[in-house]
Amino acid sequence: MTTDIDARVRLARDIERGASVLSSRVVEAFLNVPRHPFVPAFYRWEDGAYRAQSAGGGAWLGSVYADEVLVTEVDDAPGAEVGGVATSSSTAPGLMAEMLDALDVRPGDRVLEVGTGTGYNAALLCHLAGAGNVTTVDRTAHLVEAARERLGADVAVVRADGVHGCPGGGPFDRVIATCSVRRIPRAWLDQCVTGGLIVAPIGNALGGGAVACLTKLPDGGAAGRFLHRPAAFMPLRADGNAAAVHDVPTGGRRRTSVVGARVLDDHGFSFWAGLRLPPAVVRVGGGTLHDPTDGSTAHVDDHPGRPSTVTTAGPRDLWQLVEAARTTWRRHHRPRREWFTLTIAPGGPQLVSYGAPGGGMTCCPL
């Protein structure tokens, strides 16, 4: 019979096989911290809805310890049997391991986590830094209450709007987010010590997210690079770019394009293209882009063996921006996300930059 210890050993091995070289301390954390107490229930997408999976048994335990994302709540309703919108999840352990490795947590480091969720990542941080050194914040009351019970009294589990970090807390040696943001909130920088590290997913409208690993600079800014692995996280609820889009207009002007909608499913390209689209643009469904600031919309229908059809509305053709991004991405030989840098000026812009091997620099504001 499979035990949770057996499952943890297999998970740790899978993490090591699927990642770049990891710190032995990070692997030990996954061996020592069980996942199943933090994921008593999860959901799978079946027949057009998220459906709760029955707990118990070897198959269930195997799923909990698989290296995959587990949806843990739907429609903001804890304990729901069926739902349509995922509102909380447990990140794939392999990605968690790479983020924790980049965070380089050492015993005694003061750590702030933004996005408590199930509490599993906070438990791993406790193993790395010591429970009394970890503060984790979440805006959802029932998630905070559940995490407090699972993590114990030594961990500071705070209900707060994550965009403000932990007001009155800190300073922290390490800051990590388990939710995506378009820009790094100023509070996270202010609450991090000089020389400290910030690891956070940067999301964009096209789903081409990437995890930034930044060092806090003496002038109050920060600089760093992106991890190589794509990362799609649920957005920070307070982030203005996370707002839902309704009543997207349909119809309009039609043309053809050799760039089809499926190009947006390429994580490398969607990261590049997302940097070149206006920050308010969102992807609605598979092949629709919408900018709520001026009502511009582009919808793309793919046709096997022939050019795609582009239908646009509003003052701008948003798909032209994607086509132009595709051209420059290929011209630069499809640069990888880990070749980009992110710099944050104190009180100023946040810029993603890429230096082409032949010279020249491409800079895009977040």
Query: In the prediction, which pLDDT does 234 show?
Result: 82
Q: What is the mean pLDDT of residues 339-349?
A: 91
Q: What is the mean pLDDT of residues 55-63?
A: 81
pLDDT at 239 exceeding the cut of 70? no
Count H helices, E strands: the chain?
9, 20
Q: What is the mean pLDDT of residues 53-72?
A: 86
Question: What CATH number does residue 113 fall under?
Answer: 3.40.50.150
Q: Does residue 321 lie in a domain region?
A: no
Query: In the prediction, which pLDDT does 206 show?
Result: 80
Joined together, the tokens standing for residue 271 give 């990261």
Note down the domain range covering 157.
Answer: 4-178
Query: In the prediction, which pLDDT does 250 show?
Result: 61
pLDDT at 240 exceeding the cut of 50? no
Query: In the prediction, which pLDDT does 87 show?
Result: 85
Q: Does residue 247 lie in a domain region?
A: no
Weakest mean pLDDT among 23-27, 159-163, 240-244, 297-301:
240-244
Query: In the prediction, which pLDDT does 78 show?
Result: 83
**Alpha-carbon distance 123 to 148, whole Å?**
11
Query: In the prediction, which pLDDT does 246 show?
Result: 45
Among residues 123, 128, 7, which one has the least CA distance to residue 65? Answer: 7
Query: In the prediction, which pLDDT does 17 show?
Result: 84
Greatest mean pLDDT among 64-68, 108-112, 329-333 lies in 108-112
Joined together, the tokens standing for residue 69 give 């994302």
State how beta strands 222-230 and 253-257 pair: unpaired
Q: What is the mean pLDDT of residues 236-245?
A: 51
More confident residue, 126 or 40: 126
Joined together, the tokens standing for residue 349 give 């812009």
User: Pick the catalytic residue: 89, 90, 257, 270?
Assistant: 89
Q: Does residue 172 lie in a domain region?
A: yes
Q: Does residue 82 lie in a domain region?
A: yes
Percent pLDDT > 70 in the chain is: 93
| Alpha helix segments (H runs only) across 152-297 | 186-190, 267-276
Query: In the prediction, which pLDDT does 211 show?
Result: 95
**Alpha-carbon distance 113 to 146, whole Å?**
16
Supply the mean pLDDT for the chain.
Answer: 89
**Alpha-carbon distance 329 to 273, whole Å?**
8
Q: Please check whether residue 305 is in contact with residue 252, taking contact to mean a CB–CB distance below 8 angstroms.
A: no
Task: Band the pLDDT of 243: cuts 50, 70, 90.
Answer: very low
Q: Does residue 128 lie in a domain region?
A: yes
Q: Does residue 228 lie in a domain region?
A: no
Q: Which residues contact 360 (CB under 8 A, 6 or more apart)?
A: none
Query: Phi and psi (nearest 5°) for 160?
Result: -160, 160
More confident residue, 19 or 353: 353
**Alpha-carbon distance 328 to 234, whole Å?**
29
Clarify whether 89 is annotated catalytic: yes
Task: Band the pLDDT of 352: cuts 50, 70, 90.
Answer: very high
Q: Please check whether residue 74 is in contact with residue 83, taking contact to mean a CB–CB distance below 8 angstroms.
A: yes
Q: pLDDT tens, 291-320?
A: 999 999 999 999 999 999 999 999 999 999
Q: Does residue 308 lie in a domain region?
A: no
Q: Please check whether residue 188 is in contact with residue 115, taking contact to mean a CB–CB distance below 8 angstroms.
A: no
Task: Band the pLDDT of 251: cuts 50, 70, 90.
Answer: low
More confident residue, 245 or 161: 161
Query: In the prediction, which pLDDT does 77 show?
Result: 82
Among residues 255, 264, 244, 205, which one has the least CA distance to residue 84? Answer: 244
More confident residue, 209 or 241: 209
Percent pLDDT > 90 in the chain is: 64
**Alpha-carbon distance 175 to 164, whole Å?**
12
Tell me how crowded residue 157 is: count the other CB atoms within 10 A of its CB.
24
**Alpha-carbon distance 50 to 32, whole Å?**
30
Q: Does residue 275 lie in a domain region?
A: no
Number of domains in the chain: 1
Chain centroid, CA 289 distance in Å:
20
Query: pTM of this prediction?
Result: 0.90
- Side-chain half-sphere CA neighbours of 118 within 13 A: 24
pLDDT at 359 exceeding the cut of 80? no
Among residues 237, 128, 114, 207, which one has the least CA distance to residue 166? Answer: 114
Task: Band the pLDDT of 84: cuts 50, 70, 90.
Answer: confident
